[in-house]
């Protein structure tokens, strides 16, 4: 017999563990299935998580897992491949190792994939010297030679943003639209040189970024390079339930895809909730955790409503007999 959990949480990052903590503390039977590759794994530390500033990502998650299991939640390593509704009796969740687990409700927190620009060498330095988020890494590269790789309409915005952390910022226009005259004036006023020669690759020394190589062979010394990944929701499990990622735009430009949900995390499929980066591309660790709690509380309310309906039906049957 397969155990029927109240909730199976797919993904054990900040969002999933936070949801699982709320549900375990609500005395729900919770199973978290986690593939173990959170988005920020390449980073040395988590920043802007109040009261846990600078904690290594793995340590934060280990503490979260201990809190969940401390309240009776179960966490298993594994990868969910698909889920399907089983009549009116919840969901059957398939794992890559061939197991199937059952759940009355699902909380899917599978995160997103950062798709990097097609410049050789970026992937090897991702999360250490190739960066995207000033709130995650800005302080750590303050005052350093920072490059901003233009690949879309936000290149100038990115250069002006990172200027807050370093006075030595260079904008590599690369494949971005050419800056307008107004933008060139702004960049000049902030002391940001503009390089129009396309970028061919990066240079390293001792495994760290040392420069940005242009197609004409020139190397511009830089110790940090900012890129704008495409943020693509890891939505395969949700797709198996009929929920597809929808393209997300910022100022008219597509920045990625996410699975839509209401403010509590409820999706268009009854019984399926989402939280974290799979539905909110800009969620940081602390906001992903907050969304997990919100969804967990909403899920518990939904289960309470069902438990009450079932109890009323049972009570009426008992009276009728």
Site map (CB under 6 A) of ligand FAD, residues 262-281, x = contact: --------------xx----
- Pick 219 or 266: Cβ nearer ligand FAD: 266
Is residue 237 classed exposed, middle or buried when 0-12, 13-18 and 19+ CB atoms within 10 A define those classes? buried
Tokens of 289: 């955790």
Q: Which stretch binds ligand FAD (CB under 6 A): 169-177, 248-256, 284-292, 309-317?
A: 284-292
What residues contact 37, with CB distance under 8 A and at least 6 apart? none
Residue 53 contacts ligand FAD per CB under 6 A: no
- Pick 116 or 214: Cβ nearer ligand FAD: 116
d(CA 33, CA 7) in angstroms, rounded, equals 11
Query: Which position among 111, 145, 147, 179 is part of the footprint of ligand FAD (CB under 6 A)?
Result: 111
Taking the C-alpha atoms of 141, 142, 145 and 148 in order, what is their torsion angle to the nearest 10 degrees? Answer: 70
Contact 155, 176 (CB under 8 A): yes
Contact 19, 293 (CB under 8 A): yes
Tokens of 156: 């100038």
CB 47, min distance to ligand FAD, A: 4
How are strands ordered across the β-sheet holding 146-149? 130-131, 224-226, 146-149, 169-172, 194-195
Binding residues for ligand FAD, total number by CB under 6 A: 39
CB 177, min distance to ligand FAD, A: 25
What residues contact 317, with CB distance under 8 A and at least 6 apart? none
d(CA 198, CA 178) in angstroms, rounded, equals 12
Query: Which position among 6, 8, 9, 13 is part of the footprint of ligand FAD (CB under 6 A)?
Result: 13
Instruction: Restricting to residues 198-237, name those near ligand FAD by CB under 6 A.
Output: 234, 237
Instruction: Restricting to residues 163-202, name those near ligand FAD by CB under 6 A.
Output: none
- Pick 16 or 265: Cβ nearer ligand FAD: 16
Query: Which position among 7, 8, 9, 10 is part of the footprint of ligand FAD (CB under 6 A)?
Result: 10
Q: Which stretch binds ligand FAD (CB under 6 A): 32-40, 97-105, 150-158, 238-246?
A: 32-40
- Pick 163 or 234: Cβ nearer ligand FAD: 234
CA nearest neighbour of 9 among 113, 66, 93: 93
Residue 47 contacts ligand FAD per CB under 6 A: yes
CB 70, min distance to ligand FAD, A: 19
d(CA 64, CA 57) in angstroms, rounded, equals 11
Q: Which stretch binds ligand FAD (CB under 6 A): 5-13, 148-156, 202-210, 211-219?
A: 5-13
Tokens of 94: 């398939």
**Where along the sequence are the contacts to ligand FAD (CB under 6 A)?**
10-16, 33-40, 42-43, 46-49, 79-80, 109-111, 114, 127, 133, 136, 234, 237, 276-277, 283-286, 288
């Amino acid at each position: 017999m397969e155990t029927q959990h109240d909730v199976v949480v797919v993904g054990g990052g900040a969002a999933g563990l936070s949801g699982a903590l709320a549900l375990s503390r609500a005395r729900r039977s919770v199973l978290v299935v986690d593939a173990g590759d959170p988005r920020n794994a390449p980073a040395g530390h988590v920043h802007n998580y109040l009261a846990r500033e600078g904690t290594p990502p793995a340590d934060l998650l280990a503490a979260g897992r201990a809190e969940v299991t401390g309240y009776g939640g179960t966490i298993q390593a594994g990868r969910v491949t698909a889920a399907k509704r089983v009549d009116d009796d919840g969901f059957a969740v398939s794992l890559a190792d061939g197991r199937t687990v059952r759940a009355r409700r699902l909380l899917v927190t599978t995160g997103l994939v950062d798709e990097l620009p097609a410049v050789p060498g970026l992937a090897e330095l991702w999360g250490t010297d190739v960066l995207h988020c000033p709130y995650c890494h800005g302080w750590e590269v303050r005052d350093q030679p920072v490059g901003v790789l233009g690949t879309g309409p936000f290149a100038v915005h990115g250069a002006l943003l990172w200027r807050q952390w370093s006075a030595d910022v260079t904008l590599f226009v690369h494949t971005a639209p050419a800056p307008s005259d107004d933008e060139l004036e702004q960049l000049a006023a902030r002391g940001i040189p503009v390089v129009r020669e396309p970028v061919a690759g990066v240079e390293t020394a001792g495994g760290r970024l040392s420069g940005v190589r242009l197609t004409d062979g020139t190397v511009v010394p830089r110790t940090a390079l900012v890129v704008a990944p495409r943020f693509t929701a890891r939505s395969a499990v949700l797709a198996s339930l009929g929920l597809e990622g929808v393209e997300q735009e910022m100022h008219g430009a597509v920045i990625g895809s996410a699975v839509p949900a209401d403010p509590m995390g409820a999706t268009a499929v009854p019984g399926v909730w989402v939280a974290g980066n799979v539905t909110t591309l800009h969620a940081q660790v602390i906001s992903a955790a907050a969304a997990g709690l919100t969804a967990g509380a909403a899920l518990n309310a939904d289960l309470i409503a069902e438990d009450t309906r079932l109890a009323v039906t049972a009570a009426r049957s008992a009276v009728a007999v």
